[in-house]
Structure 1
Amino acid sequence: MPATHPPRRISALALTALLVTLAAVPAAAKQPGADRGGGAGHCGSPARLQVPGAERQEAACLAELTTAGTVSSGHTDPADWAGLTPAGLTTPRGVPGIQIDGYFPDSSATNTNHGWKHDAQFVIRLPDRWNGGLVVAGTPGVREQYANDRAIGDWVLSQGYAFASTDKGNTGAAFYRDGAEPGDAIAEWNTRVTQLTRAAQAVAAQRYHRPPARTLATGMSNGGYLVRWQLENHPELYDGGVDWEGTLWRTKGPNLLGFLPPALRAYPTYAAGGEGADKARQEMVAAGFPAGSEFLWPYHHQVYWDLTQRIYREELDPGYDGATEAGTPFCAPGTPACDADYAYATRPREVRDAVRKIALTGRIGKPLITLHGTLDVQLPISKDSDVYAKMVRGAGRGGLFRYYRVEGGTHVDSLVDTFPGKLRPLVPCHRSAFTAMEAWLDRGKQPPPSRTVPRPETTDPATLLARCRLTGQ
């Protein structure tokens, strides 16, 4: 994230918590003479484009819309996407077009990109060679609008899609300060994705003289949650979505306020070794953290679990610690208002009312593909996507859904560089899922059945980063 943020600054990598094959393009793109901007040539008068509802916008004609060019031109912020992808991820090149940066009216000011100090910022990228489609994303964690640029934006742009991303309306570790009531800050995330989708569809129609033939929602972590919510609540805006380890919010649970406190209680005892270590490990596994993921626990305890619990609990249950803001970092169990002792099930009804504002139902209205790593210890799969898959099927929407559990995948792909023999990156699995969604929509070709995708026998990093077969290794 940018260098300046509200109090309780943490590393960009930490903010990823709550918060990642070439594609067949839409049928409209397969016609001879692919659309080159409605015949207007390179860029085609970007100043005439107007983002509906935007309070501010700045359009630029760029020789390169991917991070191969936007880093040097100043049209992205590498801090927004730091730590989300493996170091060896290839950067596509050769995508000229228009970029529009701006913001919608908002009263909060956590996002300092461009020196604007204004939230509800967005970026819209319109390639000269358009395949007729639009991809819309919300960001992982509490990051800003460029957070998807490396993991998602570069690749979909290289396939010819227009791409739009939003900061969700509030950012940073103190995002919970936004909104009048508990739950309002997260609820705004959903509103901002809906707002940007409508605006980006209109801008694409202005640029290319026809509306998008297809709109897809995608995102990781909190961005994956937003895909789920949009397809449940605004299916009319989308043709489908790809959910990459989305966060699960349920009024009765499970949700992260239920499985993080046990980790905060048990992990220190496990790490200390000695007589109570094995019992503490069993408590961690019972809370949802998979056996075999122990090598990931030290890092997540240091970087993710404590911070995530405190800031999301503050957003949804600020009364737990009284006047204290977002608790006491790494407090000892038994101390007053310690988040390690938090028990969601015993909290007042008002807390569940706050969660209800953002809760998922499983009632998706358009095709959805979900992928999730089996070694995710930020959003453990048994407490998250396994549950959401049952919700979708229980709602009678199983025909619209595919779910791929990816062996060896974890929440943040950059950790593959730290543990190359134990983890596999999810970014190629996301691309395979995206390609499968295209084939599903284009040709009615059913994606592979929901399954656990085995970890390949090879541990060659280049091979793992280049391929993820949903039908096998």
Structure 2
Amino acid sequence: MALFPGTAPPTRPTRRRTALGAVALAAAAALLPSPADVDAAAALGSADGHCAGLARLRVPGAAHQQADCVAELTTAGTVASGHTDPADWAGLTPKGLTVPSGVPGIQVDGYFPDTSTTNTNHGWNHDAQFVVRLPDRWNGGLVVAGTPGNREQYANDRAVADWVLARGYAYAATDKGNTGLAFHRDGSRPGDAVAEWNTRLTQLTRAARTVVAQRYHRPPARTLATGMSNGGYLVRWQLENHPELYDGGVDWEGTLWRAEGPNLFTFLPSALRHYPAYAAGGPTAGQARARLHRAGFPAGSEFLWPFHHQVYWDLTQRIYREEFDPAFDGAVEAGTPYCAPGSVPGCDAGYDYPARPAEVPAAVERIALTGRIGKPLITIHGTLDVLLPIGRDSDVYARMVRDAGRAGLHRYYRVEDGTHTDALVDGFPDRLRPLLPCHRSAFTALETWLATGNRPPASRTVARPAGADAATLLSSCPLDG
């Protein structure tokens, strides 16, 4: 989920329904071009000169937009120019990650009609914010992304946008329509806030395809979806529900939502119940550790448990449970932090998802995944993920895709020693490896798959190379070994 750490939200206000504006349909999808076509597209992208067509750009359905000619679209320039917000992407990438440069073009910032106001970027205090970046030299493609956790629209700038822009792609991202630790206040009924995430990415994809056509005089030849954590969930959902909009996608440890489980609520409460006994040591520590393993937290990941207990497990359980089951804690909003089961009414450490009323799984069902993808998808997930344990998430989703008869459209790579947030690699360089280079390998494998029909290597566990140093692990992740 890649959430920012923070305090519990204040008292719950009346929930609001979010109104979506109308969105113009984009031009019909084109087939993936040949390499010669890509070269021609790059020439077309630069033929009109720097920032050509700026005045004619209109984002369909936007309530507000601001288009700027930018000397550098990557974070090598946008930090200084104010066209990104480093707070949005803090803590998501390793400190040694290099930043590409030399990508001039146009950036369009704005927002779609919405009634919620959690996103404060630009001083707009308006949700459904988006960013669209259009490089002068275009390769004919478009990459769209939703954000991890509850972050804002620039959250993928270091991990995804910099790299794809340097490769010539146009890029678009959305804040998903609600942000922050009180995201669950948006909407009028349980599940509305998360349901809006899916609608907003669909909305942005259609609008961004039109903007690309305005800038380059033709629609994108390929449209790819990608994202990490909650952003990876969006990729899965889009390829299941709107495959007509995309040519394929890369899912970086997407969140699994299933009404019958597994989902967050079937394993996080176990962490909250049993970790304190494990951490305290003594005669019950071994039993507590075994229970955490049974809940899905992998053996060998114990060194990551203190951080996740402090930062992620408790907060994530409470705010997402509030979104789908606000009645559990009555008038209290998002529970009581770090309570022991039975110590207070509505303590999330005692949450029992299977015992909750039928309305709760019904709310989850509204946004649940099915595995019925309609376009090629590559999933990567770290074996030491202890926010979304791999055995309770992507292992299950891969089976769902197979059971739905779509295995031919899916590749799944379990990355040995990868964890949920790459920034943790800096603290444990001898135990962890970053997933970012594996995402890039998956992305290029998807490009080849679509361009030539040559399928990527078979789904497998990608072993950590013996003796590889930190620099090698940050720059390389072969999927065939």
Structure 1 and Structure 2 fold alike (TM over 0.5): yes
Q: Which amino acid aligns with 1:308?
A: T
348, 371, 380: which one aligns with 1:362: 371
Q: 1:398 is matched with which residue: 394, 399, 407?
A: 407
Q: After TM superposition, which residue ranges in structure 1, 4 or more long, deviate above 2 angstroms?
A: 5-9, 24-39
The structure 1 residue matched to 2:110, chosen from 76, 95, 102, is 102
CA distance in 2, matches of 1:424, 1:117: 37
Tell me which amino acid in the other structure corresponds to 2:128. A
Find the counterpart in structure 2 of residue 8 from structure 1: 9
Cα distance in 2 for partners of 1:324, 1:382 equals 32
CA contact (8 A) 1:231 1:364 kept: yes
Please give the alpha-carbon distance, in whole angstroms, between the structure 2 residues aligned to 1:176 and 1:371: 28
113, 132, 138: which is aligned to 2:140?
132
Query: Shift of residue 62 of structure 1?
Result: 0.6
**What letter matches 2:299 in structure 1?**
A
CA shift in 2, pair 1:134/1:33, >3 Å: closer
| Aligned residue in 2 for 1:239 | 247
Residues in 2 aligned to 1:334 and 1:362: alpha-carbon distance in whole angstroms:
37
Q: How does 1:53-64 map to 2 (within 5 A)?
A: 53-64=61-72
> In the alignment, residue 461 of structure 1 is paired with which amino acid?
A
Structure 1 residue 33: deviation in Å? Answer: 7.3
Q: Secondary structure at the match of 2:380?
A: strand
Residue 426 of structure 1: which of 435, 440, 451 is its match?
Answer: 435
SS of corresponding position for 1:371: strand
| SS of 1:35 mapped into structure 2 | helix
Q: Does 1:35 align with 2:53?
A: no
Aligned equivalent of 1:18: none
Say yes or no: does 1:72 pair with 2:80.
yes
Aligned residues between the structures: 457
Aligned equivalents of 1:189 and 1:404: distance in 2? Answer: 26
Corresponding residue for residue 279 of structure 1: 287
Q: Which amino acid aligns with 1:50?
A: R
1:288 corresponds to which residue? 296
**1:40 CA drift (Å):** 1.6
In the other structure, the counterpart of 2:383 is 374
Alignment-derived partner of residue 14 in structure 2: none
> Match for 2:361: what amino acid?
R
**What is the Cα deviation at residue 6 of structure 1?**
10
Is 1:197 matched with 2:198? no
SS of the counterpart of 2:238? helix
Quote the residue 1:351 is aligned against.
360
Map 1:59-208; keep pairs closer than 5 Å.
59-208=67-216
* Residues 2, 112 of structure 1: 8 Å contact kept: no
Q: 2:37 and 2:66 mapped to 1: Cα distance?
A: 28
- Aligned residue identity for 1:312: Y
* Equivalent AA in structure 2 for residue 289 of structure 1: F
CA distance in structure 1 between the partners assigned to 2:337 and 2:138 by the alignment: 48
Cα distance in 2 for partners of 1:114, 1:173 equals 19
CA RMSD of aligned residues (A): 1.7
Q: Against the structure 1 CA distance between its residues 126 and 32, is the aligned structure 2 distance closer, same or farther, given a 3 Å change threshold?
A: closer
CA contact (8 A) 2:8 2:334 kept: no
| C-alpha distance in structure 1 between counterparts of 2:196 and 2:43, whole Å | 35
Per-residue CA shift, 1:110-168, capped at 9, x if unaligned? Answer: 00000000000000000000000000000000000000000000000000000000000
Change (3 A) 1:348 1:220: same
Partner of 2:316: 308
Q: Do the aligned partners of 2:50 and 2:105 also contact (CA within 8 Å) in 1?
A: yes
Please tell me whether the aligned partners of residues 2 and 77 of structure 1 are also in contact (alpha carbons under 8 angstroms): no
CA distance in 2, matches of 1:298, 1:194: 37
1:471 aligns with 2:472: no
Write the letter of the residue equivalent to 1:55. Answer: A
Partners of 2:145 and 2:35 in 1: CA distance? 22
Whole-angstrom CA distance in 2 between matches of 1:26 and 1:143: 36
CA contact (8 A) 1:53 1:199 kept: yes
How far off its partner does 1:456 sit? 1.2
**CA separation in 2, counterparts of 1:468 and 1:378?**
22
Determine what percentage of the aligned residue pairs are the same residue: 74
1:251 partner SS: coil
Report the secondary structure of 2:47's partner residue.
Answer: coil
Corresponding residue SS for 1:123:
strand
Matched, 1:217 2:212: no
1:29 CA drift (Å)? 5.0
1:48 & 1:32 partners in 2: Cα distance? Answer: 23
The 1:309/1:177 distance shift into structure 2, 3 A limit, reads same
Decide whether the 8 Å contact of 2:41 with 2:138 is kept in 1.
Answer: no
Equivalent position amino acid for 1:378 in 2: L
CA distance in structure 2 between the partners assigned to 1:35 and 1:141 by the alignment? 37
* Contact 1:26/1:214, CA 8 A, preserved across alignment: no
Give 2:459's aligned residue.
450
> Does structure 1 conserve the Cα–Cα contact (< 8 Å) formed by 2:3 and 2:149?
no
Deviation of residue 291 (structure 1)? Answer: 0.1
Q: 1:460 aligns with which of 449, 455, 469?
A: 469
The letter of the residue matching 2:111 is Y
Distance 1:29 1:297 in 2: 49
Partners of 1:417 and 1:69 lie apart in 2 by: 25
Give 1:354's aligned amino acid: A
Q: Is the 8 A contact 2:45 2:139 kept in 1?
A: no
TM-superposed CA distance for 1:332, in Å, is 1.3
In the superposition, relative to structure 1, how do residues 7 and 281 fare at CA in structure 2: closer, same or farther (>3 Å)? closer
Counterpart contact for 1:26–1:213, Cα < 8 Å: no
Q: Does structure 1 conserve the Cα–Cα contact (< 8 Å) formed by 2:3 and 2:312?
A: no
What SS does the corresponding residue of 1:206 show, helix, strand or coil? helix
CA distance in 2, matches of 1:324, 1:447: 49
Q: C-alpha separation between the residues in 2 aligned to 1:29 and 1:46?
A: 24
Instruction: Find the partner of 1:263 among 264, 267, 271.
Output: 271
Shift of 1:364: 0.2
Gaps of 5+ in 2: 11-31
